[in-house]
Amino acid sequence: MASKKFNQVYIKDNFSVIGPLEGDGLLKTYDLVMDNYYYGEKTFEQAEIKMQKIVLANLLNKNKLSENKVDVLIGGDLINQTSISSYNASKFNIPYLGVYSACATYTEELILASSLIHGKLAKNIVAITSSHNLNAERQFRYPVEYGAVKKHTTTFTTTAALSTLITNEQTNIKIESATIGKAIDMGISDTNNMGAIMAPAAADTLNTHLMDLKRSINYYDLVITGDLGKIGKELFLEVLNKNYNINLKKYMDAGCEIYTNAQETYAGASGPVALPLVLFDKVLSSKKYKKILIIATGSLQSTQLANQKLGIPGIAHAVSLEVI
């Protein structure tokens, strides 16, 4: 079965740093804002490593945790071979797992962390994820200073890093259950329309989650998808309705909640850090919702295979949170 219930797994704290554009956007609750994309470093890659270092060091300080009290560090990002997370991990004396599910990385990290804590193999785990707009541009699209004409379906990679402390001590946010998604290829090969690649995976994971745990969609006060964007969001709702007969009303897409309309970010925000940013900013701090399902979505292409015109697999992992 793809779904699993957890006992005694809680989210204790988080720490975030966001980019300059994100600071001017819709987000209200965050810890630090970068004043520029270099963040005092020589290159954008090194800036992203520094972002990860800062969110990890600050999270440990804030919770008075020494490095040897953290059982595992789980890190993920978008850059080749998850190099940003690995370079950051080398600066700390903590056992490290690097994971990749593109923009679905955050929930993959939560599922791994919860499984380890549920199985009593760990007590404290830190999950980190980050993305940097200009690093993603360099790797997946064009040189930073190249002014390519973009399609309306393109999403805009968020610049931010966020660390989360997952623990077995009781707090007010419980990780209740999770569903591991299937990689789904619906024949979409357009890397400028990642919402369309990910929407069927998100719908499938949501349906599997509800079936496995025998829940109706009304069980949740809110469902948040990761970064489907303005177009992917519509596709997701339509696929849910047509294929699974699910009529989702209490719904939010994190990709649509980060930038204002004036910020020219095409179809909205993307990147693995988009979902946790919105989760901690809009959802958990508002205290309006008790039962929340987060579905992070990822488009699993590589720069080589994208040019070979195959359908790109989408992935979505769901985690159910309860505010106590």
Partner 1 sequence: MNKDEYQKLVKKHEPKENKFENIIYAFFIGGLVGFIAEGLVVLLMNAFLLSRTEAGAWTCLIIIFASSLFTALGFFDNWMSKSKAGLLIPTTGFAHSVTSSALDYKKEGLITGLGSNFFKLAGSVILYGILSAFILVIVKVIIGG
Could you list the residues that contact partner 1 (CB under 8 A)?
A: 42-43, 138, 142-153, 186-188, 193, 196, 200, 231, 234-235, 238-239, 242-243, 311
For residue 246, give the DSSP letter.
-
Q: What is the spatial distance between Cα 2 and Cα 14, in angstroms, rounded to a whole number?
A: 27
As a whole number of angstroms, the distance between CA 54 and CA 143 comes to: 27
Rounded to a whole number, what is the distance in angstroms from the first to the last CA of the chain? 27
Closest CB to partner 1 among 42 and 64?
Answer: 42
Q: Name the token pair of 86.
A: 């690995």
Shortest Å distance, C-beta 87 to partner 1: 15
**Which C-beta is closer to partner 1: that of 193 or that of 208?**
193
Query: Which residue lies nearer to partner 1 by CB, 105 or 131?
Result: 131
CB of 245 to partner 1, least distance (A): 12
- Residues β-bridged to residue 72: 125
Pseudo-torsion of CA 121, 56, 11, 253, nearest 10°? -120
Q: With respect to partner 1, which residue has the nearer C-beta, 4 or 138?
A: 138
Alpha-carbon radius of gyration of the chain? 18
Nearest distance in Å: CB 147, partner 1: 3
Shortest Cβ 197–partner 1 spacing (Å): 9
> What phi-psi label fits residue 312: left (phi over 0), alpha (psi between -120 and 50 degrees) or beta?
beta
Q: Is residue 268 within 8 Å of 253, Cβ to Cβ?
A: yes
Tallying the residues shown for the chain, one arrives at: 324
| Least distance from partner 1 to the Cβ atom of residue 177, Å | 27
The DSSP call for residue 280 is: I
What's the closest the beta carbon of residue 250 comes to partner 1, in angstroms?
22
Nearer CB in complex with partner 1: 76/298:
298
Nearer to partner 1, 146 or 324 (CB): 146
Q: Which two tokens stand for residue 64?
A: 């008075």
